[in-house]
């Protein structure tokens, strides 16, 4: 079918510019039938992903509907070819249409089938890297977790993958993301405006902020969680010369100090900064964030990536997440897994963060700037100690902001709280 015929059949005129990219080339080599829509293929890849019989049945039903429709089959082949084609030609998933007009609530399962269509490519990457089968199976569980915990099920009452979470899940099927126990890891680059230095003698680490960034009097980024400091806001500085580095230090507890410090270059060496190679950490939903299991995952990563990705060197770990909100230390007991995790890493503030309310209280609440409406707040479940503490914080006008952290390879000594104990200022 031509692109014009497909657009007319499934009412996608608003997305013609996106779909036109590579359409003729891809359509010219489309097999008939499309192999990844065949029942045996669907059963095999859903079994590989550990999906339930109920989800598999819905996948088979949706695949059959797509197979029976020439326009939908052509679209499925185009989605697969673009998303699993050359890296520099892959579209952003938020640019792609969700096929609700054509498929209704089954549109989310269309996305899941496209994701699963890349299983042979993912396995080829894993084989080339020597990735153990156990790690492959750990990693693909992310689809089942997100089918159960993301908002598509809540909004549509059926299994599916929205365009936003499809972009995340593709990281696994592209062979970029790996789950090693409790945590997931992605080879990446440090994307935060901080520069870490290590003392040559003591081993202490100090991070300095990039210059020109606005901070509040409390050391958080001005405007984070929708809060602006009209009176006490200030701007960071950073000066580097042959003899020293002078800038605003970041406390490992997650805030930036207004008074600058000077680090003599003969005593302090740079160890991490913007664009330094690192492993991004992600904490998947679906289970408690057990403190000991997190430490074990980090140790596994130190062995796994040098062995299977020797070409992807890294200096440490980094993370941006709702779990790194420094307010947790005030709201939760010191024995909390979240608080204990935070004490093992070097925390830093971020300009924008969210997800605390959704992750702690579930879906169905409209979160904005770290808080919710009075109507939603009255509906918050308060059945656990954590939920009661967080709801009380919101009741008192408080907000959540998320946070970031890094952990250098040499400092992985889980339980030592090295950054806080060696902090020199």
pLDDT digit string, tens, across residues 266-305: 999 999 999 999 999 999 988 889 999 999 999 999 999 9
Write the pLDDT tens digit of every residue in 324-345. Answer: 999 999 999 999 999 999 999 9
Among 170, 187, 78, 193, which Cα is nearest to 122's?
A: 170
pTM of the model: 0.94
Q: How far is CA 104 from the centre of its chain?
A: 28
- Let me know if residue 382 belongs to a domain: no
The DSSP H or E segment spanning 300 is: helix 291-308
- Let me know if residue 201 belongs to a domain: yes
Percent of the chain clearing pLDDT 70 (strictly above) = 100
Write the pLDDT tens digit of every residue in 333-377. Answer: 999 999 999 999 999 999 988 889 988 998 778 889 999 999 999
Select from 176, 199, 219 the last residue of a domain: 176
Domains held by the chain: number:
2
Residues 417, 358 contacting (CB under 8 angstroms)? no
Q: Which two three-digit tokens encode residue 116?
A: 């699963």
Whether the link from the prior residue into 386 is cis, omega within 30° of 0, is: no
- Let me know if residue 394 belongs to a domain: no
User: Domain range for residue 413?
Assistant: 186-353+401-425
pLDDT class of 65 with cuts at 50, 70, 90? very high
| One domain, residues 211 and 302 | yes
Select from 176, 206, 237 the last residue of a domain: 176
Residues 123, 49 contacting (CB under 8 angstroms)? no
Write the pLDDT tens digit of every residue in 5-19. Answer: 999 999 898 899 999
- Let me know if residue 393 belongs to a domain: no
| One domain, residues 169 and 191 | no
Select from 113, 144, 176 the last residue of a domain: 176
Q: Which residue has the higher pLDDT, 151 or 9?
A: 9
Q: What's the CA gap between 311 and 415, in Å, rounded? A: 30
DSSP designation for 20: T
Write the pLDDT tens digit of every residue in 223-276. Answer: 999 999 999 999 999 999 999 999 999 999 999 999 999 999 999 999 999 999
| One domain, residues 250 and 123 | no
| One domain, residues 254 and 344 | yes
Residues 112, 57 contacting (CB under 8 angstroms)? no
| One domain, residues 315 and 422 | yes
């Amino acid at each position: 079918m031509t692109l014009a015929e497909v657009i007319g059949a499934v009412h996608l005129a608003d997305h013609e510019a996106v779909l036109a990219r590579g359409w003729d080339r891809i359509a010219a080599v489309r097999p008939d039938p499309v192999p990844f829509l065949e029942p045996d293929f669907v059963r095999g890849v859903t079994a590989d992903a550990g999906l339930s019989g109920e989800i598999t049945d819905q996948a088979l039903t949706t695949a059959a509907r797509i197979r029976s429709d020439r326009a939908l089959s052509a679209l499925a082949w185009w989605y697969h070819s673009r998303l699993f084609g050359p890296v520099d030609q892959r579209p952003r998933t938020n640019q792609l249409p969700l096929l609700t007009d054509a498929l209704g609530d089954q549109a989310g399962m269309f996305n899941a089938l496209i994701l699963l269509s890349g299983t042979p490519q993912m396995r080829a990457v894993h084989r080339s890297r020597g990735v153990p089968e156990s790690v492959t199976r750990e990693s693909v569980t992310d689809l089942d977790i997100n089918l159960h915990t993301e908002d598509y099920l809540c909004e549509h009452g059926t299994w599916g993958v929205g365009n936003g979470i499809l972009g995340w899940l593709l990281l696994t099927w592209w062979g970029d993301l790996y789950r090693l126990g409790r945590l997931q890891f992605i080879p990446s680059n440090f994307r935060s405006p901080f520069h870490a230095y290590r003392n040559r003698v003591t081993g202490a680490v100090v991070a300095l902020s990039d210059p020109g960034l606005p901070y509040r009097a409390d050391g958080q980024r001005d405007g984070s969680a929708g809060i602006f400091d009209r009176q006490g806001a200030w701007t960071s500085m950073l000066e580097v010369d042959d003899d020293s580095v002078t800038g605003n230090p970041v406390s490992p507890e997650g805030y930036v100090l207004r008074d600058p410090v000077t680090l003599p270059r003969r005593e302090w060496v740079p160890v991490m900064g913007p664009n330094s190679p690192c492993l991004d950490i992600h904490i998947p939903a679906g289970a408690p964030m057990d403190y000991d299991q997190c430490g074990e995952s980090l140790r596994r990563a130190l062995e796994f990536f040098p062995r299977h990705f020797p070409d992807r060197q890294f200096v440490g770990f980094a993370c941006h997440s709702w779990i790194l909100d420094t307010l947790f230390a005030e709201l939760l007991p010191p024995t909390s897994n979240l608080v204990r995790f935070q004490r093992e890493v070097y925390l830093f503030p971020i300009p924008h963060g969210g997800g605390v309310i959704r992750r702690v209280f579930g879906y169905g609440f409209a979160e904005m700037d770290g808080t919710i409406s009075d109507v939603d707040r009255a509906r918050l479940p308060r059945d656990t100690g954590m939920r009661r503490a967080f709801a009380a914080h919101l009741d008192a006008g408080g907000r959540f902001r998320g946070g970031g952290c890094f952990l250098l390879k040499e400092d992985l000594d889980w339980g030592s709280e090295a950054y806080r104990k060696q902090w020199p200022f």
